[in-house]
Amino acid sequence: MKIGFIGLGNMGAPMAANLARDHEVTGFDPVAQPTGLTLAPSAAAAAQDADVVITMLPDGNILRTVAAELHPAMKQGAIHLDCSTVDVDSARTVAAQAIAHGLYAIDAPVSGGIGGATNGTLTFMAGGPLPAFETVAPLFAIMGQKAVHCGAAGNGQAAKICNNMILGVTMIATCEAFALADKLGLDRQAMFDVVSTSSGASWSMTSYCPAPGIGPVSPADNGYQPGFAAELMLKDLRLSQQAAEAAQADTPLGQAATALYARFVETEDGRGKDFSAMLPRFETRQRP
């Protein structure tokens, strides 16, 4: 396929590089200029004659702006595959605009972080027409290890924010439990051995343990350098609560996790750290 790739930051650049091994990829980013990729002078130029245009952008407002430039430049019947994590309303608005221009649109946010983007092991949750999903399935297979069709436009974003609301809540609970275990004199390895094979097990414990030296290697073993930054978790939690408010859904734990990550990132020292750095935060705190 001929692919345009817009947004070549920490996630987009390795995704585009993986695709470029098997397809013709032309990229554009207003700031990043990664080596090893063919670059265009504008987003519209990267999109011309492309079968698929992939966007990986910071937020919904930027997605709407870039889509307004891309869609008139794309050929009829092409697919706009958006892998950004944005609000559901922006995803559905951009999909409707794509249809109005004779295009197809798939919203397919990712899970797996920078490591997953680099290693081609991302998970994609996709919303949009099934035939378009099937057309881009070979691209998902290059960039990731799993792609799930979640239904209509916007449902990929819905799946992503629901998943990450769970992740934010469970990481906080895991960090709280380790900090409590420390104060009770329970060895961290013993706690991991029990919880990882018991009813308290979660991905946050078994695959991304926030305690250094415990379980598989994780950012905790690298000074909490981000695999998934705390500020990105805050972004996703805020998107979940924006959607919950619009849908009149009661999400008290999601609200609490959002407030806690907001405090961690904006008034404490969490910015630039992995979201699992909640553990050293709790280690030094007393019960209010």
Catalytic residue IDs: 160
How many angstroms from the chain centroid is the CA of residue 215? 23
Cα gap 16→54, rounded to integer Å: 9
Cα gap 4→14, rounded to integer Å: 14
Q: Looking at the chain, which runs of residues are DSSP E strands?
A: 2-6, 24-28, 38-39, 52-55, 79-82, 104-107, 110-111, 122-127, 144-151
Cα gap 136→151, rounded to integer Å: 15
User: Could you tell me the CA-to-CA distances from 200 to 174, 181, 194, 244 in Å, in that order?
Assistant: 9, 14, 9, 26
CA gyration radius, the chain: 20
